[in-house]
Every structure is written in structure tokens, then in C-alpha cells.
Amino acid sequence: MQQFWNDRYRQQEMVYGSEPNVFFKEQLQGLKPGKLLLPAEGEGRNAVYAASQGWDVLAFDYSEAGQAKALALAAKQGVSIDYRLADAEGFKTEPESFDAVALIYAHLPADLRQALHRKVQQWLKPGGIIILEAFHPKQLGYTSGGPKDESMLYTADMLLQDFAGMEVKVLEEKEVTLNEGAHHSGAGFVTRLVATKPKEQIR
């Protein structure tokens, strides 16, 4: 898969556009800027937008081509992001070190998904927020992008299990119109979650 993403991101144009994901942008607008983590960040559109809004951004992906385009976009926009080469399994950071984590189309096989979602909760500060948008299994009936493997598509029930113990603010499965470059274009069906880590953990 790493070679697949490197080949895709080596295209001159921004595969998913240079504008941030709409849901991510909407959710970020209501938050006080702090430290943000963006796993599987690809070409950096969300990282660069967040940095332009005052966030201290750490992003990672295992695609060297994605990293190169992200850093070029950041330079073009006059912002600074910390973008590291790592995969979801190998990335490590300090516990309780982020105010927000955004998982935007971070599709993984079930075992890796569950492991990453557990780690994301550990990385969040108490009171920190998760923002997630991903394709729903119904997306297989659409032509607007996403994995073709149903096991890599996310339902609301799946996310409730993964993030049990979080305080859910938004949870929805809905049809949307995508306008995110050539590979996310047209009608699609997504699952969205916004949840916060309780400030007082039950021990």
C-alpha cells in the first residue's frame, strides 16, 4: 500500500485538492487552537489549514511523496508543520500531549484501526477532542472514492465501540457531496464522529 500512495501522490496536481476537508474545517472553527495530531495526513491539506489558524500541527504518513507535497504546500502558504514519516502501527508520541486529533479518511484494516483508535485516546489530553470523517460501507455503492474493501469502511456502531468511554458530541452516517480533488468527487456516504476525552478518568 505504501507504493500505491507514493505513486498516487507523485502526480503533480493535489490528488485530494489543497482545501481542507469541510467537516474538519467546521469543527476546528469552534475550538481554541492548541496542539493537533493528524495521522495518515497525505498531501497535508488539513495540516496546512490548521497551521494557518494558529494550531501547532504534528502530522504523519508513510508516503514520502505525500510528505514532500505537504511541506511544499506549507511553504507556499507561509506556515510551519511538523510532518513525520511513519505508519499507524509504528508512530509513537507522548501520552496526553494533544488537544485534538483528526482522523480524516484514515482507513485501516480492523486490527490496525482498533489499535490506532486506542492509542489516539491515550495521546489526547483530558478534555481533548477527536474529529473523524471516513467512508461508510454504503460508499461501495458510490463512485466518489474510498476503499473497495468493506472491512476498511466505518459505521457509527464500530466507532462507538472503538471510542467507548469518550463523550460523543456528534455521531452521524449521511450522504454528502464531495469536492476534494479528482479522487473524492460527487455524492458519497460518510460516517462522522466528534468526541471528547473525559477530564476525570475512572480508575
pLDDT at position 141, please? 96
pLDDT at position 30, please? 86
Q: Is the pLDDT of residue 201 over 60?
A: no
Q: Is the pLDDT of residue 25 over 90?
A: yes
Residue whose C-alpha cell reads 492509542 in the numeric block: 119
User: Domain boundaries in the chain?
Assistant: 2-196
pLDDT at position 13, please? 72
Handedness of CA 188, 173, 106, 96 (dihedral sign): positive
What count of other Cβ atoms lies within 10 Å of the Cβ of residue 63?
A: 25
Distance CA 47, CA 173 (A): 25
pLDDT at position 9, please? 65
The CATH T-level fold of domain 2-196 is: Rossmann fold (3.40.50)
Task: List residues bridging with 85 in a β-sheet.
Answer: 61
pLDDT digits (tens, 9 = 90+) for 36-46: 999 999 999 99
pLDDT digits (tens, 9 = 90+) for 142-181: 999 999 999 999 999 999 999 999 999 999 999 999 998 7
DSSP code, position 13: S
Of 49-53, 63-67, 180-184, least confident by mean pLDDT is: 180-184
Q: Is the pLDDT of residue 202 over 50?
A: no
pLDDT at position 12, please? 66
Q: Taking residues 126-140, report their average pLDDT.
A: 97
Q: Taking residues 12-20, report their average pLDDT.
A: 77
pLDDT at position 18, please? 84
State whether residue 29 is helix, strand or coil: helix
Q: Is the pLDDT of residue 111 over 60?
A: yes
Q: Taking residues 22-33, report their average pLDDT.
A: 96
pLDDT at position 203, please? 46
Q: Is the pLDDT of residue 16 over 80?
A: no
Write down the H helix ranges in the chain.
2-9, 22-29, 45-52, 64-77, 110-123, 156-162
Q: What is the mean pLDDT of the chain?
A: 92
